Chains A and B, each alone.
Chain A
Amino acid sequence: MSTTSAFGASEPLPMRDDSVPSWQLLLTLTVAGALAGLAVVLLYDWTRPRVEAHKAGVLREAIAEVLHSPRRADTLWLTGGKLSGNPPSGENAKTAERVYLGFDAAGAPTGYAIQVVEPGFADPITLLIGYDATRRELLGMKVLESKETPGIADKVVQPVFTAQFRGRAAPLTGIKRDESAKMTTDRTAVVMITGATISSRAVLRGINKAIAHWQPYLDAYRPAETAPRDTLGSGGKR
């Protein structure tokens, strides 16, 4: 029955025949599973604040990047079908959809930072776009998270792709590299990444969907109606 002893082990495996009762097998797996679960959950809880703090920092930097260093940025939550500077009550505060509104030094709104999540090739791609709702054009784009194939599809993260979004208007359309002349005439055109078709399409689709979703709310929102606070704290450069 002992299979491992064929290795000439330094100590022989305890010989096991059919005498091991089933409850003992079950107990071994149960105890191992419980201990494993406990270890993972404890570590997860212990590291979460650190991970969250880092994510918040990354988000602040990303907002500053896509809105071109606003003086401050406010969080606006989507509650009851409209945008509001006040967070929804209770549990909804964590899950409610939100955008970030940037202001320049004079206190005038400069644009919205909108998070976009769209399934890519490997996993959802998370982006942040800067969007001017009045002029209906993009101010910038940054990929926050992507697990796209390293070396190929992760080009969608690099400036060669992301830098071209500034000044583009939705709905975006993808064009090939050799058609890049179109970019001067067509404000919706974006040059796709060869070899990362699925990933670059996902980015465009995500942005288009997000803008279509948010445009009505952004149009309806008047910053003066509420008194937004700088909920992001050090949201922009001061």
Chain B
Amino acid sequence: MRCHALPDIPGRPKPTATEDFVRGIWKENPTFVQMLGMCPTMAITNTVKNAVAMGVLTLIVQLGSNVFVSIFRKRIPNEVRISTYILIIATFVQIVDIGAEAMMPDMHKALGAFIPLIVANCLLLGRQEAFAAVNTVGRSALDGIGMGLGFTLGLSTVGTVREILGSGSWFGIRVMPASFEPWAIMNMPPGGFLGFGLVLLALAWWKDRTARRTAVRSVLAAPAPRQPEEVSV
């Protein structure tokens, strides 16, 4: 598994700490740009609360495993690195699962089988291969937090669309008028695809609009084309 997002590009200046942190939130957002971790994006975004909880749990796993992989990156032989990374990820998922059961049993119950499934989120192994295995602990931690926040942002955006349309509420608070008939399908698995599709559509439209505006502005700002001068040879 290779992330198309490269940590560093030879010949370019080294990214700053802010860039390491912000990368996952916006430019390489796991959900909307890298399109990784689609299973929770489809499965538990029926409410914003579930989406945020899943995002935060994934953040903890991403941060923990990034830090551990980075600490031991020089000690882990290349030949067994995948097994070791997966073991580190699985351990953090187990820790998060046990911790969530003890500290927030109701949320643990609501997320059900999807907490153990964090282990199969390809975002995690992707970041370790592409980033934590070749970068310092500090940078890997920032990358982990950024990617985790970006994933939380992605899940809760889809969750917002699904919960408002599917239940007429946001974070459990009723936001739609009483006359609004909830779209039951948004609470069901197809709603995951529809909600995600709607968000992607909005993002694509926004990007396209921005690109057009920039293009129009650059044309307007450019000086009028000069008449070709006669040049005597």
Instruction: Give residues in A with beta carbon < 8 Å to B.
Output: 1-5, 7-11, 13-14, 16, 20, 24-25, 28-29, 32-33, 36, 39-40, 43-44, 47, 50-51, 54, 58, 122-123, 145, 147, 149-152
A36 and B85 CA atoms in complex are apart in Å by 11
Q: Name B102's contact: one of A3, A7, A51 (CB within 8 Å).
A: A51
Q: B56 interface residue, CB < 8 Å from A? A: no
B14 touches A28 (CB 8 A): no
B7 touches A10 (CB 8 A): yes
Which residue of chain B lies nearest to A36 when distances are taken between CB atoms in the complex?
Answer: B91
CB neighbours (8 Å) of A1 from chain B are: 78
A43 touches B188 (CB 8 A): no
Contact A9/B135 with A47-B98, A150-B46, A151-B187 known, Cβ cut-off 8 Å = yes
Q: B95 interface residue, CB < 8 Å from A? A: yes
A150 and B47 CA atoms in complex are apart in Å by 11
Per-residue A-contact encoding for B17-38, CB less than 8 Å = 1, 0 else: 0000000000000000000000
What are 7 A-to-B residue pairs whose CB atoms are below 8 Å? Answer: A4-B133, A8-B10, A25-B77, A29-B84, A47-B99, A50-B102, A151-B188
A10 touches B80 (CB 8 A): no
A11 touches B135 (CB 8 A): yes
Q: Considering the complex of A and B, which 4 residue pairs feature the smallest CB-CB distances, nearest first?
A: A9-B134, A47-B102, A36-B91, A147-B112
B74 touches A43 (CB 8 A): no
CB neighbours (8 Å) of B46 from chain A are: 150-151
A1 and B87 CA atoms in complex are apart in Å by 23
A8 touches B133 (CB 8 A): no
Q: Name A28's contact: one of B7, B77, B105, B189 (CB within 8 Å).
A: B77
Closest CB of chain B to A148's CB: distance in Å?
Answer: 8
A25 and B76 CA atoms in complex are apart in Å by 8
Contact A51/B105 with A7-B6, A43-B98, A150-B43 known, Cβ cut-off 8 Å = yes
B94 touches A40 (CB 8 A): yes
CB neighbours (8 Å) of B98 from chain A are: 40, 43-44, 47
A122 and B114 CA atoms in complex are apart in Å by 12
Closest CB of chain A to B104's CB: distance in Å?
Answer: 10
Which residue of chain A lies nearest to B94 when distances are taken between CB atoms in the complex?
Answer: A40
Instruction: Give residues in B with beta carbon < 8 Å to A.
Output: 6-10, 14, 43-44, 46, 74-80, 83-84, 87-88, 90-91, 94-95, 98-99, 101-102, 105, 109-110, 112-113, 129-130, 133-136, 139, 187-189, 191
CB neighbours (8 Å) of B95 from chain A are: 39-40, 43
A13 touches B134 (CB 8 A): yes
Knowing that A32-B84, A47-B101, A151-B187 touch, tell me 20 more A-B residue pairs with CB under 8 angstroms.
A4-B78, A4-B134, A7-B7, A8-B8, A9-B134, A10-B7, A10-B134, A13-B78, A16-B78, A28-B75, A29-B87, A40-B91, A40-B95, A43-B98, A44-B98, A54-B105, A145-B109, A150-B46, A151-B46, A151-B189
Closest CB of chain A to B196's CB: distance in Å?
Answer: 15
The interface centre, meaning the residue of A11, A13, A33, A151 with most chain B CB atoms within 10 A of its CB, is: A151
A15 and B28 CA atoms in complex are apart in Å by 29
CB neighbours (8 Å) of B14 from chain A are: 10
Which residue of chain B lies nearest to A12 when distances are taken between CB atoms in the complex?
Answer: B134
A40 and B99 CA atoms in complex are apart in Å by 10
Closest CB of chain A to B182's CB: distance in Å?
Answer: 12
A229 and B135 CA atoms in complex are apart in Å by 63
Closest CB of chain B to A7's CB: distance in Å?
Answer: 6
A87 and B88 CA atoms in complex are apart in Å by 42
A36 and B83 CA atoms in complex are apart in Å by 13
B75 touches A147 (CB 8 A): no
Closest CB of chain A to B78's CB: distance in Å?
Answer: 5
CB neighbours (8 Å) of A4 from chain B are: 78, 129, 133-134
CB neighbours (8 Å) of A7 from chain B are: 6-8, 130, 134
CB neighbours (8 Å) of B87 from chain A are: 29, 32-33, 36
Contact A28/B135 with A7-B130, A40-B94 known, Cβ cut-off 8 Å = no
CB neighbours (8 Å) of B109 from chain A are: 145
The interface centre, meaning the residue of B88, B102, B188 with most chain A CB atoms within 10 A of its CB, is: B102
